[in-house]
Structure 1
Amino acid sequence: MKKVGIIDVAKQAGVSVSTVSLVLRQKGKISEATIEKVQAAINTLGYIHNVAAANLRANTSNLIGLILRDFSDSFSIKVMASIVQELEKQGFMVFLGQPLNDHEHLERCLLSFKQQGVAGVIYLASDTRTSSLPSQIRECPLPLVVVSQSLLNDPCNLVMRDNRQTANLATRYLIERGHRNIAYIGGREGCLIREQRLLGFRSAMTQYGLVNREESAPVCSDDTQAAGFITRQLLEKNNTITALLCHSPDAMIGSISGIHQVGRTVGKDVFLTQQVALVGFEDMLHVNLTSPSFTYVSSASEETGRQAAGLMIRKLKEPELQTQRITLSGQLIARESA
């Protein structure tokens, strides 16, 4: 069977080869009627457009390299899904890399991207204990967009969450509901997300003239058992605490255990001293299925992905575009726990 080519499509549609090429590349000002004729010819003949060959001829690429280090991080997974969806809408495809470390594995990943001819790289930063990018990413010669959950010092096209704003928003919400003794549970020592949120937490407390106690923000490992233990310790030492900001979904789930162990319950009524209000920073399915349902500040993961994809596309279209830093605020979703 003869292979169907672009010339065959042009003859079938009754248009020029250049018109078919423009339709395939979604370029130029082509009328809807002409586009429909070309698409009908493609469907009739069963023509398959070789995008890779077309990109090679035009010295362009519709491939974007996406680096995701941590598949266990729900925020990164949601951002990745949003990036892929947005890029596909614009005719791009994603080439995914998951280097195991920031050294030789990352080097091989970037080399693979280069061999595949990607047009640009989106890097989902996962190390929340450093404000610097790996040297290989900093020196990447391709258009680069970085997505980070914490503030980075490197000059790069960056999309990130405003952790200080989210914690300030959550704290003010609790204060305005009558809470005066609020604690922050979770986050490891040196975690930049925790440090930024604590700035927002403490600034809200200061704004309302409330006391900031160092012992009201204990660190703990990211698991439910550790969060449960530290919550119990905290409430036993200070039974006037009526609200907790929970660093992670695990911290939120674990804190429920600690609250119950000291004979108290989860709830929003500040005047019932046995109740403890909970506010988290993530929107996750298993958190949403709890009873009571959790109040949280959204992570804006879908919008983060859309912004990252959009910034990459703008960078490809305008190579001289100045470095952009996009900071996304969270939205508080009030439910039963606070």
Structure 2
Amino acid sequence: MKRVSIVDVAKEAEVSVSTVSLVLRQKGKISPATIARVQQAMTTLGYVHNVAAANLRASTSNLIGLIIRDFSDSFAIKVMASIVQELERRQYMVFLGQPQNDEEALERCLLSFKQQGVAGVIYLNSDVTASALPEAIRRCPLPLVVVSQSLSEEKCDLVMRDNRQAANLATRYLIERGHRNIAYIGGGESDRIRQQRLQGFRSALTQYGMIFREELAPACDESTRAAGLVTRKLLEKNNAVTALLCHSPNAMLGGISAVHQVGRTLGKDLFLTSQVALLGFEDMLHVNLTSPSLTYVSSASEETGCQAAGLILRKINEADLTPQRIILSGQLVIRESA
């Protein structure tokens, strides 16, 4: 069976070959009626556009390399989904690499991207303890955009969420509801997200003339059990605590367990002294399944992905684009727990 060519499409649509080419590349000023005619001709003839061949002729690529190192990181997974959706909407395809924490594997991943002819790379950083990017990423010769939760000082094209703003917003909300003994639960001592959120926590306390108390901000391992243990110990020692600001979904779940273990309940009503308000930072599925439903500051993961996709395409198309820094704020979602 003869393969349908662009010439066949042009004849069927009664337009020039160059017009068909412009429609395929979405270039030039072509009327909607002509575009519809060309598309109808392609459908009638069963024409399939060979994007790889077109890219080769034009020395361009519609491939974007996407590196995700931790599939257990819920924020990175949701950002990845948003990036893929936005790039596909703009007719780009994603070439996925997952080198975990192996630096040699990261080098091989970047080499593979280059061999496959990707136009640019998006790196989803999940290391919350590192203050700098891996050296292989720093040396990446391709247009690069980094998505991070914690690398606020890194000099690169960066899209990240504002952890200070999120904690400040959450703390101010609790203070304005009358809470004066607020604890921050979870995150390891070396966790840069925790450090940034504690800055926002402190600034909100200072703003309202309150003092930060170290004993009300216990660090712990990233597990439900660890969070539950430190929260129970804190509540048993400080029964005046009326609100918990939880570092992560595990800290939320551990906090819920600890509140019940010490004979108290979750809720908003400050005048019921047995109640403890609980507020977190993640819009996770199991947040919606608890009772009472949990108040939280959203992670802005969908917008983060859209911004990262848009930025990498700008970098590809604008070689002289100055380094961009996009910081996204979360939104407070008020429910029953605080």
Q: TM-score of the superposition, structure 1-length normalised? A: 0.99
1:253 matches 2:262: no
Q: CA shift at 1:212, angstroms?
A: 1.1
Partner of 1:45: 45
Q: CA shift at 1:102, angstroms?
A: 4.3
Q: Distance in 2 between matches of 1:210 and 1:269?
A: 21
In structure 1, give the amino acid aligned to 2:160.
M
Q: CA shift at 1:100, angstroms?
A: 2.4
Matches within 5 A, 1:76-225: 76-225=76-225
Residue-pair matches, total: 338
In structure 2, give the amino acid aligned to 1:220.
C
Does the 8 A contact of 2:83 with 2:306 survive in 1? Answer: yes
Q: CA shift at 1:151, angstroms?
A: 2.8
| Unmatched segments (≥5 aa) in structure 1 | none
- Structure 1 residues 28-47: Cα deviation after superposition (integer angstroms, max 9, x where no partner): 11111111111011001101
Matches within 5 A, 1:10-25: 10-25=10-25
Q: Distance in 2 between matches of 1:238 and 1:7?
A: 79
Secondary structure of the equivalent of 2:64?
Answer: strand
Matches within 5 A, 1:204-283: 204-283=204-283
Partner of 1:56: 56
**Structure 1 segments of 4 or more deviating over 2 A?**
151-154
Does the 8 A contact of 1:102 with 1:134 survive in 2? Answer: no
Q: CA shift at 1:14, angstroms?
A: 0.9
Q: Distance in 2 between matches of 1:70 and 1:288?
A: 24
Secondary structure of the equivalent of 2:173?
Answer: helix
In structure 2, give the amino acid aligned to 1:198.
L
1:69 matches 2:65: no
In structure 2, give the amino acid aligned to 1:259.
V
Q: CA shift at 1:80, angstroms?
A: 0.5
Matches within 5 A, 1:274-293: 274-293=274-293
Partner of 1:31: 31
Secondary structure of the equivalent of 1:195?
Answer: helix
Q: Distance in 2 between matches of 1:222 and 1:149?
A: 16
In structure 1, give the amino acid aligned to 2:286.
H
| Unmatched segments (≥5 aa) in structure 2 | none
In structure 2, give the amino acid aligned to 1:129.
T
Q: Distance in 2 between matches of 1:28 and 1:102?
A: 45
Does the 8 A contact of 2:266 with 2:276 survive in 1? Answer: yes
Secondary structure of the equivalent of 1:276?
Answer: strand
In structure 1, give the amino acid aligned to 2:218.
P
Q: CA shift at 1:330, angstroms?
A: 0.9
Does the 8 A contact of 1:158 with 1:324 survive in 2? Answer: yes
Secondary structure of the equivalent of 1:234?
Answer: helix
Q: For structure 1, which segment, 6-15 or 61-70, has the greater mean C-alpha deviation from structure 2 after superposition?
A: 6-15
Q: CA shift at 1:289, angstroms?
A: 1.1
Does the 8 A contact of 2:68 with 2:100 survive in 1? Answer: no
Structure 1's 167 and 195: CA in aligned 2 closer, same or farther, altered over 3 A? same
- Structure 1 residues 71-93: Cα deviation after superposition (integer angstroms, max 9, x where no partner): 11111111001111111111111
Q: Distance in 1 between matches of 2:211 and 2:17?
A: 74
Partner of 1:302: 302
Q: For structure 1, which segment, 208-217 or 172-181, has the greater mean C-alpha deviation from structure 2 after superposition?
A: 208-217
Root mean square deviation, CA, Å: 0.8
Does the 8 A contact of 2:170 with 2:332 survive in 1? Answer: yes
Q: CA shift at 1:271, angstroms?
A: 1.4
Partner of 1:333: 333
Q: Distance in 1 between matches of 2:58 and 2:64?
A: 17
In structure 2, give the amino acid aligned to 1:265.
T
Percentage of pairs with the same residue: 77
Does the 8 A contact of 2:132 with 2:151 survive in 1? Answer: no
In structure 2, give the amino acid aligned to 1:59.
S
In structure 1, give the amino acid aligned to 2:32.
E
